[in-house]
Amino acid sequence: MFNNAQEFFNTLPLIIMGGGIVISLLIEIYSDKNKVILPWFTALLFLAVGLHSLFYTNDVSIVMQNMLATGGNVNIFYAIFTLGAAVVTLISIDYIKKYDMYFGEYYLILQTSVLGMMLMAAAKDLFVIFLGLELMSISFYILAGMNRKRAKANEASLKYFLLGSFATGFIVYGIALIYGSAHTTSIDFITTNFAGLTSNLLFVAGVLLFLIGFSFKIAAFPFHMWVPDVYEGSSTTVAALFSTGGKSAAFSAIIASLFALFNGPSGNVFTPYFAVISVLSMFYGSIVAIAQVNIKRMLAYSSISHAGYLIIGLAAGNHDAIAGVMFYLGAYTFMNLGAFGIVSLVEGKNETNLDINSYAGLASKKPFLAALLSILMFSLAGVPPFAGFFGKYYIFIAAIESKLTWLAILGVISSAISAYFYIRIVVLMYFKPATNDFQIETSNSAMLGIITSVIIVILLGIFPGSFLDLITRFI
Amino acid sequence: MTLQIVLFFIFAAVSAVTAVIMITRTNAVISALFLVLNFASLAGLYLTLNAQFIAVTQIIVYAGAIMVLFLFVLMLLRPENEKKILDMKPKLQIFAMIIAFIVFIQIAYIIFFAQPLQNISPDLTNSIKAGTIEAIGRELFTKYIVPFEAAGFLLLAAAIGALVLAKKKFE
């Protein structure tokens, strides 16, 4: 267990999260006012864990019989997950009341999914990765189908469950082969003996299966088919969590378990695999998103193309690439959460106003909301000085360092294509007459969440160096 | 031949034969019953490998709890005799054959080329100790406490989710 008080202190983010889940369960069971207490308790819990992790990033250690890592990049991932989830909680409060689907369990399952993500980021053993992944995924399947009255939500939940279990099957098979060739599930052993192990065909097959399984979770191209349907079918707030937290968690697990991939000055054994799926997902996502009229489906395809940019970082395989991927994940989390938050606000009861043309003229009716959405769209398109630009910039730089210039060029071309459908929303809002009488129910908590994420996006864009320094210090 | 080897061949033959019978029956109830027998013979194989705890859980959890649930569901739903999917879609048959062939190649590779035996010490005392409930409990609550707790939260989330999705009424 814990050898000293410092180790206990370092593990606190996980302990607070676990304790918070149990307390939330008790609140839900025993309190009459749980409708008021539980959402805010959840938001504060996420905020507390996030701030604790950010403040104590220096406490780098390995605890719990070499099962968990603490401090450093693990804590930064914790902060991304929990602060993102706090924003999701804020935008959910009024959204789920709008749909008359208030369940206290919604917040409880939100917390368990975040605990799963945190376990994936902290793992020093493949067991922990697998259990964290399952905890996250099962919570996601439940969240997707929470609004049972809608047939589409049920479909989304079932689809996500079936394809997600399929992906889990790949991961477990991969872990079995890795265990078979390395005779241990300890990630440290795999990292130190990576070069020797890659001469073993079984190990390479295992790692490939492992990566294919995670490609499902990060919504990369050949394994993306669930993404648009699930995002469209499930609640907008939940889709926001899937596209940000789920993706970041899968990347954190890849970085945690296959850290050896990033040791080379240029590339690694799996660079060809990564390069192929990154090019395919970038272009597929960007091109298909142009044809979408439903804004949630558009954001789903945009999430596929963002997965492509992130995988360039994995293909580059040097330490700058990790920094780039983590920066991009932080930036992407908040810009996507903001965008989904605004979609959830504009969305009326019974899924009206989801068509992109219903955004026409938003600027004349709701100028502030339109301005926020434009900032987020510019950031998603990668326009400086917002966070999205620097995320892409760092990843492309890392790719060029690894002599993958062609990949960086394809990335730039793809983001130029994707600018079309992001800027189209801005054009619609500002230069088209309103066809819609926008009966938007004001929600202060949702506005708080959206404004927070926009501020983070702007700050990350203006001071990218401070966050990047924090990340690179621990690589 | 020692007793162990005789037992191994008996259990291996039973498990292989019951597996083949299980996938060839058209009546789902009979398939499920043969699967129970298959699990029982696998438990026997685990016993010969000194894994008493796994053998017992195999019987109690799989053969006992899960398969009985399966049988209840099958008997309550009374499925029609399974239509042969493979006969209707010949392309699927080729696909299935390719997958089966890949798995076969992989197993053959592991047995004949990867030489897992060289990494296993011939000293059996450790492996005998590791199979007892005491050793498993000790490992579970010391070295593997984090995965153990994570599994606890996983079950909690799954139970809550099942209740929400299946039972809870909308207000």
Assigned token pair, B146: 């984090």
List, as one string, the DSSP characters of A53-68. HHHTTT--EEETTTTE
Residue B136's pLDDT band (boundaries 50, 70, 90)?
A: confident
List, as one string, the DSSP characters of A108-146. HHHHHHHHHHHHHHHBSBHHHHHHHHHHHHHHHHHHHT-
Q: Which residue from A68, A101, A157 is facing B146, i.e. has the nearest CB?
A: A68
- What DSSP element (H or E) covers A70? strand A68-70
The length of chain B, given as a count of residues: 171
User: B165, A64: Cβ pair inside 8 Å?
Assistant: no
Mean pLDDT in residue range A383-399 = 91
Question: Which residues 6+ apart lie within 8 Å of A202 measured at CB?
Answer: A177, A180, A181, B109, B110, B114
Q: Specify the pLDDT at position B11.
A: 93
User: Tokens 């939330």 identify what position?
Assistant: A24
User: Would you say residue B86 has pLDDT above 60?
Assistant: no
Q: Which residue from A64, A116, A145 is facing B146, i.e. has the nearest CB?
A: A64
Q: Specify the pLDDT at position A319.
A: 86
Residues of chain A found within 8 Å of residue B149, distances taken between Cβ atoms: 18
Minimum CA–CA partner of A68 in chain B: B146
Which 8-state DSSP code applies to residue A246? I
Distance (Å, whole) CA A223 – CA A212? 8
Q: How far is A328 from chain B (nearest CA, A)?
A: 28
Distance (Å, whole) CA A53 – CA B52? 43
A181 touches chain B (CB under 8 A): yes
User: A109, B161: Cβ pair inside 8 Å?
Assistant: yes
- How open is the CA angle A216-A217-A221, to the nearest 5 degrees? 40
- What DSSP element (H or E) covers B11? helix B3-24
Q: Find the chain B residues whose C-beta atoms sit closer than 8 A to any C-beta of A.
A: 106, 109-110, 114, 116, 119, 142-147, 149-151, 153-154, 156-158, 160-161, 163-165, 168, 170-171
Q: Specify the pLDDT at position A266.
A: 63
| A123-149 pLDDT per residue, tens | 999 999 999 999 999 999 999 988 888
Q: Which residue from B144, B147, B161 is facing A138, i.e. has the nearest CB?
A: B161
Minimum CA–CA partner of A108 in chain B: B157
Q: Specify the pLDDT at position A446.
A: 92
Residue A196's pLDDT band (boundaries 50, 70, 90)?
A: confident
Minimum CA–CA partner of B103 in chain A: A173
User: Would you say residue A454 has pLDDT above 70?
Assistant: yes
User: B114, A181: Cβ pair inside 8 Å?
Assistant: yes
User: Would you say residue A366 has pLDDT above 90?
Assistant: no
Distance (Å, whole) CA A352 – CA A294? 11
A152 touches B86 (CB < 8 A)? no
Minimum CA–CA partner of A29 in chain B: B160
Mean pLDDT in residue range B57-79 = 85
User: Would you say residue B146 has pLDDT above 70?
Assistant: yes
Q: Specify the pLDDT at position B83.
A: 59
Distance (Å, whole) CA A107 – CA A92? 9
Distance (Å, whole) CA A222 – CA A216? 8
| A73-98 pLDDT per residue, tens | 999 999 999 999 999 999 999 998 88
User: B165, A108: Cβ pair inside 8 Å?
Assistant: no
Q: In terms of DSSP bridges, do strands A68-70 and A61-63 run parallel, antiparallel, or are they unpaired?
A: antiparallel
Mutate to test the interface with B, among A131, A178, A189 (most CBs of B within 10 A): A131
Would you say the C-alpha torsion B9, B12, B15, B19 has a positive or negative sign? negative
Q: Is A465 exposed, middle or buried (0-12, 13-18, 19+ CB in 10 A)?
A: exposed
Task: Quote the mean pLDDT of chain A.
Answer: 90
Mutate to test the interface with B, among A74, A119, A150 (most CBs of B within 10 A): A119
Q: How far is A288 from chain B (nearest CA, A)?
A: 29
Q: Specify the pLDDT at position A244.
A: 93
Residues of chain A found within 8 Å of residue B164, distances taken between Cβ atoms: 103, 105, 109, 142, 146
Amino acid at A436: N
A103 phi and psi, to 5 degrees?
-130, 135
Q: How far is A204 from chain B (nearest CA, A)?
A: 13
The three-class DSSP label of residue A267 is: coil
Q: Specify the pLDDT at position B150.
A: 93
User: A202, B147: Cβ pair inside 8 Å?
Assistant: no
Mean pLDDT in residue range A201-215 = 91
Mean pLDDT in residue range A205-214 = 92
Q: Specify the pLDDT at position A201.
A: 84
Assigned token pair, A110: 């939100």
Q: Which of A225-234, A417-426, B72-81, B110-119 has the lowest mean pLDDT?
A: B110-119
Q: Which residue from B109, B145, B154 is facing A64, i.e. has the nearest CB?
A: B145
User: Would you say residue A321 has pLDDT above 60?
Assistant: yes
Assigned token pair, B91: 């392309």
Minimum CA–CA partner of B139 in chain A: A65
Distance (Å, whole) CA A40 – CA A35? 9
A237 touches A92 (CB < 8 A)? yes
A38 touches A24 (CB < 8 A)? yes
User: A67, B164: Cβ pair inside 8 Å?
Assistant: no
Give CA A379 to chain center in angstroms: 16
Q: Which residue from B119, B142, B164 is facing A146, i.e. has the nearest CB?
A: B164
Mean pLDDT in residue range A314-329 = 90
A347 phi and psi, to 5 degrees?
-60, 130
First to last CA, chain B: 69
Distance (Å, whole) CA A205 – CA A173? 10
Between the CA atoms of B132, B134, B139 and B145, what dihedral angle is there, to the nearest 10 degrees?
130
User: B161, A100: Cβ pair inside 8 Å?
Assistant: no
Question: Which residues 6+ apart lie within 8 Å of B110 measured at CB?
Answer: A180, A202, B116
- How open is the CA angle A269-A273-A275, to the nearest 5 degrees? 105
User: Would you say residue A68 has pLDDT above 70?
Assistant: yes
Q: What percent of chain B lies above the pLDDT cut of 90?
A: 29
Q: How far is B137 from chain A (nearest CA, A)?
A: 15
Residues of chain A found within 8 Å of residue B116, distances taken between Cβ atoms: 180
Residue A400's pLDDT band (boundaries 50, 70, 90)?
A: very high
Mean pLDDT in residue range A94-111 = 88
Question: Which residues 6+ apart lie within 8 Å of A52 measured at CB?
Answer: A12, A13, A16
Residues of chain A found within 8 Å of residue B165, distances taken between Cβ atoms: 142, 145-146, 148, 157
**What per-residue string of b and e applies to A288-324 under the rule 16 or more CB within 10 Å gives b?**
bbeebeebbbbbbbbbbbbbbbbbbbbbbbbbbbbbb
Q: Is B24 exposed, middle or buried (0-12, 13-18, 19+ CB in 10 A)?
A: exposed
User: A112, B170: Cβ pair inside 8 Å?
Assistant: no
User: Would you say residue B167 has pLDDT above 80?
Assistant: no
User: Would you say residue B81 has pLDDT above 60?
Assistant: no
- What DSSP element (H or E) covers A34? helix A34-55
Which 8-state DSSP code applies to residue A359? G
Distance (Å, whole) CA A304 – CA A407? 17
Mean pLDDT in residue range B102-129 = 74
A64 touches chain B (CB under 8 A): yes
User: Would you say residue B118 has pLDDT above 70?
Assistant: no
Nearest to A115 by CA among B78, B66, B153: B153
Residues of chain B found within 8 Å of residue A105, distances taken between Cβ atoms: 160-161, 163-164, 168
Q: Specify the pLDDT at position A24.
A: 94
Assigned token pair, B149: 């707790």
Distance (Å, whole) CA A300 – CA A219? 9
The three-class DSSP label of residue A270 is: coil
Residue B117's pLDDT band (boundaries 50, 70, 90)?
A: low
Q: Which residue from A101, A128, A135 is facing B157, i.e. has the nearest CB?
A: A135
